[in-house]
């Protein structure tokens, strides 16, 4: 259903959004309304205000058909996208694959020495929407602030390419990066994988598949990962609606990506159900308190720890799903991603052959 805000040009909507977030804190609180508390947690003001602004335009991740949902996300990403960051250069390339080339984008911090760490990143979007363009901001941010090269991967999307196409493309992309590390300017012994939501699922899937046949990632950076497509956990009921990602969205995404319910227990999709997680790389697992995926993400971190995998389990109690996409709004989202960038930088520096002094030099 069309709203008044839908008829306002997107550039004007963007200006209005940023103007609201520039207001003094007391005024932002008035606009956002009384603090929202649920499950013993209090939502951050930045998150609550963003949700209030989204409600004005009836923002919906799964609006219409998959094609329409993709187009809507691409159209609106400029409203909250991170502006081009200085000190990072980018170039597009294709990754060869049996079913056709996989588009990718390499982000390189200026003056980063050859032979430095690399992060292979998979975007979120429920395996159905999203692209290397919609997640350009988070990849550039991680490249600059973690001082690593970032290879962003445009894997095939469902329903045109259902499970396990996304998982297959993710593994192909990682193996390409490992084989071509020199050409990418990277250290083959310091290649990590990461992603957000469905992309984090793909990153964890790569780690699991690589156990059987190397090479293996040395670190996994997981933002609010989807880890179990078979079980409905408590957080999915507690935060079913009103916090960006909804219960209906999750159903819509899974029905498109893996319509065969019998396949949903496959560990390439439900990584939490893998028989043995021993030998997986160290992980930083960030979840959001007000996220229906919270409990399965935390459960995966717990299983990693039980398997002897070094893991940092970080629940941001006051945030919502999707926070890596909101870097340019307020300050709270950026704080969370900055923490993750630090963890990535440290984890990869410990594995890299590059000079640690250079890795940790001050950034511009």
pLDDT per residue over 304-336, tens digit each?
999 999 999 999 999 999 999 999 899 999 999
Cα 130–chain centre separation: 10
Give the up-direction half-sphere exposure of residue 247: CA atoms within 13 A in the CB hemisphere. 11
DSSP 288-354: EEE-TTHHHHHHHHHHHHHTT--EEEEEEEEEETTGGG-TTSTTHHHHHHHHHHHHHHHHHHTT-SS
Residue 211 has pLDDT above 80, yes or no: yes
Q: Given 3.30.390.30, 3.30.750.80, 2.60.40.10, 3.40.50.1820, which CATH number is that of 80-359?
A: 3.40.50.1820
Task: State the catalytic residue, choosing from 266, 291, 295, 318.
Answer: 291
Strands (E) in 174-282, as ranges, are 186-196, 220-223
% of the chain surpassing 70 pLDDT: 91
- pTM over 0.75? The answer is yes
Task: State the catalytic residue, choosing from 197, 270, 325, 352.
Answer: 197
Domain ranges of the chain: 5-65, 80-359
For the segment 108-120, the average pLDDT, to the nearest whole number, is: 95
User: For 120, phi and psi rounded to 5 degrees?
Assistant: -95, 115
Give the up-direction half-sphere exposure of residue 339: CA atoms within 13 A in the CB hemisphere. 18
pLDDT at residue 133, rounded to an integer = 96
Told to judge if 321 belongs to the known catalytic residues of this protein, a careful annotator would answer yes
Task: State the catalytic residue, choosing from 116, 169, 321, 352.
Answer: 321
Residue 364 has pLDDT above 70, yes or no: no
DSSP character for 355?
-
Task: Tell me what the pLDDT averaged over the chain comes to.
Answer: 92
Distance CA 48, CA 311 (A): 30
> Which tens digit of pLDDT belongs to each residue from 157-190?
999 999 999 999 999 999 999 999 999 999 999 9
Told to judge if 94 belongs to the known catalytic residues of this protein, a careful annotator would answer no
**76 compared with 301, residue with greater pLDDT:** 301
Told to judge if 291 belongs to the known catalytic residues of this protein, a careful annotator would answer yes
Neighbour order of strands in the sheet with 116-122: 88-95, 102-109, 149-153, 116-122, 186-196, 220-223, 283-290, 311-320
287 contacts 316 by C-beta, under 8 angstroms: yes
307 contacts 114 by C-beta, under 8 angstroms: no
129 contacts 322 by C-beta, under 8 angstroms: no
pLDDT at residue 357, rounded to an integer = 41
For the segment 202-226, the average pLDDT, to the nearest whole number, is: 96
Residue 353 has pLDDT above 80, yes or no: no
For the segment 254-260, the average pLDDT, to the nearest whole number, is: 98
Burial class (CB within 10 angstroms; exposed 0-12, middle 13-18, buried 19+) of 295 = buried
Distance CA 320, CA 322 (A): 6
pLDDT at residue 68, rounded to an integer = 96
pLDDT at residue 15, rounded to an integer = 82
> Which tens digit of pLDDT belongs to each residue from 12-70?
777 888 899 999 999 999 999 999 999 999 999 999 999 999 888 767 899 899 999 99
Structure tokens that stand for 91 in this block? 């170039």
For the segment 76-88, the average pLDDT, to the nearest whole number, is: 71
């Amino acid at each position: 259903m069309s709203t008044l805000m839908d008829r306002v040009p997107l550039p004007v909507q963007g200006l209005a959004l940023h103007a609201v977030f520039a207001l003094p804190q007391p005024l932002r609180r008035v606009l956002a309304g009384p603090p929202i508390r649920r499950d013993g947690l209090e939502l951050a003001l930045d998150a609550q205000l963003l949700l209030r602004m989204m409600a004005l335009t009836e923002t919906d991740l799964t609006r219409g058909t998959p094609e329409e949902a993709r187009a809507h996300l691409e159209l609106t990403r400029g409203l909250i996208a991170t502006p081009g960051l200085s000190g990072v250069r980018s170039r597009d390339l294709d990754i060869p694959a049996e079913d056709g080339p996989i588009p990718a984008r390499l982000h390189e911090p200026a003056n980063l020495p050859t032979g430095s760490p690399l992060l292979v990143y998979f975007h979120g979007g429920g395996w159905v929407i999203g692209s290397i363009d919609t997640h350009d901001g988070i990849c550039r941010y991680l490249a600059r602030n973690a001082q690593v090269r970032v290879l962003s991967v445009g894997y095939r999307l469902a329903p045109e390419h259902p499970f396990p196409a996304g998982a297959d493309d993710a593994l192909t992309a990682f193996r390409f990066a490992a084989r071509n590390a020199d050409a990418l300017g990277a250290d083959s012994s310091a290649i990590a994988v990461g992603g957000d939501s469905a992309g984090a699922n793909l990153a964890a899937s790569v780690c699991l598949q690589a156990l059987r046949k190397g090479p293996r990632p040395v670190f996994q950076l997981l933002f609010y990962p989807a880890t179990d497509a078979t079980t409905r956990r408590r957080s999915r009921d507690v935060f079913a609606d009103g916090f960006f990602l909804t219960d209906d969205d999750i159903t819509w995404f899974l029905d498109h990506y893996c319509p065969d319910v019998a396949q949903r227990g496959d560990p390439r999709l439900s990584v939490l159900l893998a028989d043995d997680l021993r030998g997986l790389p160290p992980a930083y697992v960030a979840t959001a308190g007000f996220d229906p995926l919270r409990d399965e993400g935390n459960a995966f971190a717990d299983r990693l720890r039980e398997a002897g995998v070094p893991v940092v389990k970080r629940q941001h109690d006051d945030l919502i799903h999707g926070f890596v996409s909101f870097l340019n709004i307020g300050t709270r989202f950026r704080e969370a991603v900055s923490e993750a960038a630090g963890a990535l930088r440290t984890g990869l520096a410990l594995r890299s052959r590059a000079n640690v002094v250079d890795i940790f030099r001050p950034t511009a």
